Amino acid sequence: MSFASTNDLAEKKVSFDDLGGGLYAYTAEGDPNSGVIVGPEGVIVVDAQATPVMAEDVKARIATVTDLKVQHVVLTHYHAVRVLGASGYGTSSVIASHPTRVLINERGAQDMESEIGRFPRLFRGRESIPGLTWPSVTFRRQMTLWMDRRQARIIQIGRAHTAGDTVVWMPREKVLFAGDTVEFGATPYCGDAHFADWPATLAAIRKLGPEKLVPGRGAALTTKDDVAQALHETESFVTDLFSLAKLAVEKGWGLDDLYLQAMDEMRAKYGHWVIFDHCMPFNVSRAFDEASGIVRPRIWTAERDLEMWRSLEGSAPLKSAEAF
């Protein structure tokens, strides 16, 4: 039995949307997004893509709007699909929160092997990956990059998708690069999540007051209404799933029981989102763990991936083939 994503081989259409003020969104129909900030002397890339080969396409889009080189790469979290392309930008400045570096040290190698095995299409040119991406600059809570008089605030916003989640906030333009704390029309991946903290993290994002937002996956959001919808839908998904998990633990259900119930209830509301079928076994497993008192997410290895997938999907066959 193979992961849903192994059958998803179709390339996605890339968009490079101008958000105004030298800010751009690199999106690809539900594949991982990147953000681009063009300053007076150089460029900031938010999330590096999965391989140096894939980073070349981001650089090609940047070249259509400026001759300036990439000065900084900001990592919103530690997942391989976001970080392993960092070496392709030719900069020694790779910025991440301190917890993100801790997670790379603790589980980065296992995550790299796990993610490549789950969805090989998202690692095009993986032979170009030189190894783990190590941040050269780390921070606690927040830091600011100044671009002349313009500021990019890099904020460890709170635990949600991972323990080190970081956003990049442009206060003058009111644009937020949200990483996977927020998704739009795409199923949140929660395999390494902190469900109990995620709503408060979204509240912190709302408090910033973004009027445009680049989610981790899905189209760039260019109106306040779209931003509000994405925040609401992301919160609804993680809240609904965690509520089911807590109820399952209270009733003494097993993980298999919760999975069947969650797939039945949540498919009707969220099943049309991309990557739903692939994410749900990982999401339910983590929700069950947290509801059972396992606060720190367990490390996903290639072996654990397969063991979990075979166990859960043996009782609930997939209805479609999608990629995480």
- Judged by DSSP in three states, 118 sits in helix
**The predicted structure's pLDDT at residue 318:** 36
Question: Phi and psi of 270, rounded to 5°?
Answer: -125, 0
Number of domains in the chain: 1
Residue 320 lies in a domain: no
- State phi, psi for 206 to the nearest 5 degrees: -60, -40
CA 132 from centroid of its chain's CA atoms: 17
**143: domain range?**
4-313
Is 34:47 a contact under the CB 8 Å cutoff?
A: yes
Which three-class secondary structure state does DSSP give residue 152?
Answer: strand
Q: What is the CATH number of the domain that holds 175?
A: 3.60.15.10
Query: Is 123 within the bounds of a domain?
Result: yes
pTM listed for this prediction: 0.94
318 falls within a domain? no
Indicate the Cα dihedral angle 275, 278, 281, 284, nearest 10°: -10
Give a yes or no: residue 322 inside a domain.
no
Q: Which residues pair with 94 in a beta bridge?
A: 73
Does 323 reside within a domain?
Answer: no
Give a yes or no: residue 319 inside a domain.
no
Per-run averaged pLDDT (10 residues), the chain, 324 residues: 57 94 96 97 97 98 98 98 98 98 98 93 95 98 93 98 98 98 98 98 98 98 98 98 98 96 96 95 98 98 93 58 31
| Amino acid letter for position 208 | L
Report yes or no on 133 lying in a domain. Answer: yes
157: in domain: yes
